[in-house]
Chains A and B, each alone.
Chain A
């Protein structure tokens, strides 16, 4: 028998078009996502390369014991550069200050004109903020806006950064400043491993449902042509030949889907570029892999599709007619849970090692991620066992005809019934882990007034003797400032804290202030907390001798708490100060934490999960239809004997609902367990917090999609069992 004649027998059968359309659509969605993920992955380092100019690479200034710095005199072949993190209305702005001599030879990046003191360039996002905010709240901090930083100097379109021209002496007095011959062009390859690992996990999360979809659709193909395949086998086609045909068909469909996916990735980039990654949105080019990678992706997905279909057809070989009798699957045993146990042990172990011995943490991180993959895999392996256990218990109590039929099928075919829902179950596991971790991190980063901590209304600026008076005066003049507090450096250089008036200490939020005229307060601890712990102990002020003869160390403005007043106080203190560090507040301290990063990861995770859940729901729909077609004879007989269609639908729905219900709860539970392990070992004293509404939306959404997917098969169930379309002999 030639391949050509086999093709005639197999291809172009009823339902083939719809089945392949399902594959094309599913693959297209997944490949579109994959392409964008891949582009992001590949261009991750470019983003840092573009911001190389912000990196301080030169020699540090000489600093004497009392903190004063010595800088070289201005020359035409050198610059001084310093940077600081500024905040405005809760947004971080990266400020790079450059000082050059008037006739400098130092080239500014990308052909920008050298800046003179008082001028600055701003990124488009900052320029936009300047347009919308009064100058005394923001723009006054930097001077005169003379141009925009080009895209080639930004990590992403929403990056907030400014390049400020500063007087030589100002930067020279900044202990963090560097002397360098020009702006750096190499950049610092920041560690983007975490992001890359997450992107890799995201891609796997995308591939798992697509592999399941392909395998399920191949199964549907086999179900639709069972008789034909059996005939082809009888005529003499080998098992491999039949599998080869199936691979050919699926390869063509996945290739078409992959090409469509690449086309769909173009508009998808526009949406994806608005997502924040590593603190900035992306330029579309950052999400676009090179043509070679695109071709490799199409080829890889095609080969994967063909291989899965080949294996599926080879394993599920129907054999010649008569030879095939419906058999139960091989019995699944409790051993299947061991993978899960191994994964969990590895996971907890490596998390513990990463936590306790920093030296081994890099290796532990790799094991951590590997064991995460093992865990995900373990859920899919253990699923059939759990399905069988639950459904055989269910079969014993089942009372309705539809329940008895479904339980019989589930107990004897736990693998294939679980496979229909495996994608959803795995997606729910991953989303539960993310949700558990993310909500725990966020729990401490929403700042609130806490007794003993710096009041949220206070702006704190570092000061020295030379600037303190001007800072106090400027702060007093700012609208909305109610009190200005000065903290002095104590005589004992080892003492932690600053000395101030007891009344002042109370005004900035200190509690348990002793009955003394002057007290020593640890403003640093009041600002940052003594640890990342939610229940950080507020520092306890101690009595002090007085402020007489001490040098000012900090100036604090107590405002009326309005955002405008806070920004005005910040601007006033900044202009009058030494410009080495930006004035700050406890809100900034919180905003600068891990919260933003985790939040952006959460958004990415939820989007990825939404897509994985969508594809899994598609797979479930296909699997349900395949299962109905495979049994059209028995279903038809049941209808012949008088079973109402509603009860047949009940059978189909129960066969999806039981494995979903029995494994979904377990996988969500396991997800939270994993999140809890992560939080208590690596969370630096975080407390595990239950996830927010988005998680429950994701969970309810997947259940609703599953219900829809099952309902989508009802039409097929009815049509394929129509008495006129079934012949009984």
Chain B
């Protein structure tokens, strides 16, 4: 793929005796929404952790936008994640002691933004995700769907090149799952952000541009189901 934002080749990763990834080659295009599916324990989370530079693969390389993550130090990868990558997890990723606004502003502050500017940006993204009236609330006082939307706002607020989402709607009922997912994909598409989305749910995967299936640490048969 010529205009690949993420390009991974020959990824292998083992945890002791467990081989989680057994040789994965994968390209993700700029602006693409990719769904990663597969049975439990097949290595999906391990894959995106390697793609995001959270874990260093035992073998293989990962390049994002021309930067070879596997050649960077742990600190440099942390810096890279802060500036270029957003994360959304299933639940419990917000700081319970901070308001929604401060939660969203946090990565901006970590990147050196001024408080006032960071808060303004946070309010902007909360507004885009339909949470303008929730900005002052703390996560403990929100519904699961609202909390996930705050997490999405936080992932997008730094305007990253790519957002990795590991079952972002896994803990929600199907109705709110739909709302949250649509909000995320709409916001991502508007800003042309690449999304790599792990899901168990075929309906969720249907929102993606493309779908890959991981089985036993490999991309299985119909690796690229293009839509």
A positions within 8 Å CB-CB of B: 325-328, 398-401, 404-405, 408-409, 411-413, 633-634, 637-644, 647, 723-724, 727-729
The A-contacting residues of B in range 72-91, CB under 8 angstroms, are 75, 78-83, 85, 87, 89-90
Whether B166 contacts A728 by the Cβ 8 Å rule is: yes
Would you call B223 an interface residue if the criterion is a C-beta within 8 Å of the partner chain's C-beta atoms? no
Interface residue stretch chosen among B59-67, B100-108, B174-182:
B100-108
Query: How near does chain A come to B35, taking the closest CB pair, in angstroms?
Result: 17
Q: State whether A405 and B95 are in contact (beta carbons under 8 Å apart), knowing that A640-B87, A643-B78, A729-B90 are contacts in the complex.
A: yes
Q: State whether A729 and B89 are in contact (beta carbons under 8 Å apart), knowing that A404-B109, A405-B106, A647-B110 are contacts in the complex.
A: yes
- Could you list 20 A-B pairs, sorted by A, with CB under 8 Å? A326-B140, A399-B109, A399-B114, A401-B110, A404-B106, A405-B98, A408-B99, A413-B97, A634-B95, A634-B96, A638-B110, A640-B87, A642-B82, A642-B83, A642-B107, A644-B78, A723-B55, A727-B45, A729-B89, A729-B166
In the complex, A399→B106 CA distance in Å? 10
Would you call B93 an interface residue if the criterion is a C-beta within 8 Å of the partner chain's C-beta atoms? yes
Q: Find the residue from B55, B98, B138 having the highest chain A CB count within 10 A.
A: B98
Whether A408 contacts B87 by the Cβ 8 Å rule is: no
Would you call B167 an interface residue if the criterion is a C-beta within 8 Å of the partner chain's C-beta atoms? yes
In the complex, A727→B170 CA distance in Å? 16
Residues of chain A with a CB closer than 8 A to B138's CB:
328, 412
Whether B98 contacts A644 by the Cβ 8 Å rule is: no
Whether B110 contacts A723 by the Cβ 8 Å rule is: no
In the complex, A723→B98 CA distance in Å? 23
Q: Which residue of B lies closest to A413 (CB)?
A: B97
Q: Find the residue from A327, A412, A640 having the highest chain B CB count within 10 A.
A: A640
The listed residue (A327, A404, A638) touching B102 by CB distance below 8 A is A404
Q: State whether A641 and B97 are in contact (beta carbons under 8 Å apart), knowing that A325-B140, A404-B102, A729-B90 are contacts in the complex.
A: no
Would you call B130 an interface residue if the criterion is a C-beta within 8 Å of the partner chain's C-beta atoms? no
Binary interface encoding of chain B residues 124-151 relative to chain A, with 1 for a CB under 8 A from any of its CBs, else 0: 0000000000000010100000000000
Q: Which residue of A lies closest to B84 (CB)?
A: A642
Q: Which residue of A lies closest to B167 (CB)?
A: A729
Whether A642 contacts B78 by the Cβ 8 Å rule is: yes
Query: How near does chain A come to B80, taking the closest CB pair, in angstroms?
Result: 7
Residues of chain A with a CB closer than 8 A to B87's CB:
637, 640-641, 728
Whether A642 contacts B92 by the Cβ 8 Å rule is: no
In the complex, A328→B93 CA distance in Å? 17
Q: Which residue of B lies closest to A726 (CB)?
A: B54
Closest 4 CB pairs of A and B: A642-B82, A408-B97, A401-B109, A326-B96
Residues of chain A with a CB closer than 8 A to B82's CB:
641-643
Q: Which residue of A lies closest to B114 (CB)?
A: A399
Would you call B115 an interface residue if the criterion is a C-beta within 8 Å of the partner chain's C-beta atoms? yes
Query: How near does chain A come to B192, taking the closest CB pair, in angstroms?
Result: 21
Query: How near does chain B come to A648, taking the closest CB pair, in angstroms?
Result: 11
In the complex, A139→B110 CA distance in Å? 79
Residues of chain A with a CB closer than 8 A to B95's CB:
405, 408, 634, 638
Residues of chain B with a CB closer than 8 A to A728's CB:
45, 87, 89, 93, 166
Q: Which residue of B lies closest to A729 (CB)?
A: B90
In the complex, A727→B44 CA distance in Å? 13
Residues of chain A with a CB closer than 8 A to B80's CB:
642
Residues of chain B with a CB closer than 8 A to A398's CB:
115
Query: How near does chain A come to B47, taking the closest CB pair, in angstroms?
Result: 13
Whether A644 contacts B115 by the Cβ 8 Å rule is: no
Q: State whether A409 and B97 are in contact (beta carbons under 8 Å apart), knowing that A400-B109, A640-B87, A729-B166 are contacts in the complex.
A: yes
Query: How near does chain B come to A656, taking the closest CB pair, in angstroms?
Result: 16
Q: Find the residue from A327, A412, A642, A728 having the highest chain B CB count within 10 A.
A: A642
The listed residue (A400, A634, A639, A641) touching B107 by CB distance below 8 A is A641
In the complex, A408→B90 CA distance in Å? 23
Q: Which residue of A lies closest to B116 (CB)?
A: A399
Residues of chain A with a CB closer than 8 A to B93's CB:
637, 728
The A-B contact count (CB < 8 A) is 85
In the complex, A640→B49 CA distance in Å? 10
Binary interface encoding of chain B residues 11-55 relative to chain A, with 1 for a CB under 8 A from any of its CBs, else 0: 000000000000000000000000000000000010000000011
Residues of chain A with a CB closer than 8 A to B96's CB:
326, 412, 634
Residues of chain B with a CB closer than 8 A to A400's CB:
109
Residues of chain B with a CB closer than 8 A to A328's CB:
97, 138, 140
In the complex, A641→B53 CA distance in Å? 11
Query: How near does chain B come to A464, taking the closest CB pair, in angstroms?
Result: 84
Query: How near does chain A come to B73, taking the closest CB pair, in angstroms?
Result: 12
Whether A642 contacts B55 by the Cβ 8 Å rule is: no
Residues of chain B with a CB closer than 8 A to A647's CB:
110
Residues of chain B with a CB closer than 8 A to A412's CB:
96-97, 138
Query: How near does chain B come to A652, taking the closest CB pair, in angstroms?
Result: 14
In the complex, A328→B170 CA distance in Å? 26
Residues of chain A with a CB closer than 8 A to B109's CB:
399-401, 404
The listed residue (B78, B90, B102, B115) touching A399 by CB distance below 8 A is B115
Query: How near does chain A come to B177, taking the closest CB pair, in angstroms?
Result: 16
Q: State whether A327 and B106 are in contact (beta carbons under 8 Å apart), knowing that A642-B80, A723-B55, A724-B55 are contacts in the complex.
A: no
Q: Find the residue from A398, A400, A413, A728 having the highest chain B CB count within 10 A.
A: A728
The listed residue (B45, B110, B167) touching A642 by CB distance below 8 A is B110
Q: Which residue of B lies closest to A400 (CB)?
A: B109
In the complex, A727→B109 CA distance in Å? 25
Whether A640 contacts B97 by the Cβ 8 Å rule is: no
In the complex, A400→B107 CA distance in Å? 11
In the complex, A639→B114 CA distance in Å? 20
Q: Find the residue from A400, A401, A409 having the highest chain B CB count within 10 A.
A: A401
Residues of chain B with a CB closer than 8 A to A634's CB:
95-96
Binary interface encoding of chain B residues 201-213 relative to chain A, with 1 for a CB under 8 A from any of its CBs, else 0: 0000000000000
The listed residue (B78, B105, B167) touching A404 by CB distance below 8 A is B105
In the complex, A641→B114 CA distance in Å? 19
Query: How near does chain B come to A52, taking the closest CB pair, in angstroms?
Result: 65
Residues of chain B with a CB closer than 8 A to A723's CB:
54-55
Whether A644 contacts B92 by the Cβ 8 Å rule is: no
In the complex, A723→B46 CA distance in Å? 12
Residues of chain A with a CB closer than 8 A to B166's CB:
728-729
In the complex, A327→B114 CA distance in Å? 29
Whether B54 contacts A404 by the Cβ 8 Å rule is: no
Q: Find the residue from B92, B96, B102 having the highest chain A CB count within 10 A.
A: B96
In the complex, A641→B156 CA distance in Å? 12
In the complex, A712→B82 CA distance in Å? 27
Residues of chain B with a CB closer than 8 A to A404's CB:
98, 102, 105-106, 109, 115
Residues of chain B with a CB closer than 8 A to A399's CB:
109, 114-115
Query: How near does chain B come to A651, taking the closest CB pair, in angstroms?
Result: 10
Residues of chain A with a CB closer than 8 A to B83's CB:
642
Binary interface encoding of chain B residues 149-171 relative to chain A, with 1 for a CB under 8 A from any of its CBs, else 0: 00000000000000000110010
Whether B102 contacts A408 by the Cβ 8 Å rule is: yes
Residues of chain A with a CB closer than 8 A to B170's CB:
729
In the complex, A325→B79 CA distance in Å? 31
Query: How near does chain A come to B34, taking the closest CB pair, in angstroms?
Result: 19
Q: State whether A640 and B105 are in contact (beta carbons under 8 Å apart), knowing that A327-B140, A404-B98 are contacts in the complex.
A: no
In the complex, A647→B112 CA distance in Å? 12
Query: How near does chain A come to B164, taking the closest CB pair, in angstroms?
Result: 10
In the complex, A637→B54 CA distance in Å? 11
In the complex, A274→B170 CA distance in Å? 70
In the complex, A399→B79 CA distance in Å? 19
Q: Which residue of A lies closest to B77 (CB)?
A: A642
Residues of chain B with a CB closer than 8 A to A638's CB:
95, 106, 110
Query: How near does chain B come to A359, taking the closest CB pair, in angstroms?
Result: 56
Query: How near does chain A come to B136, taking the closest CB pair, in angstroms?
Result: 13
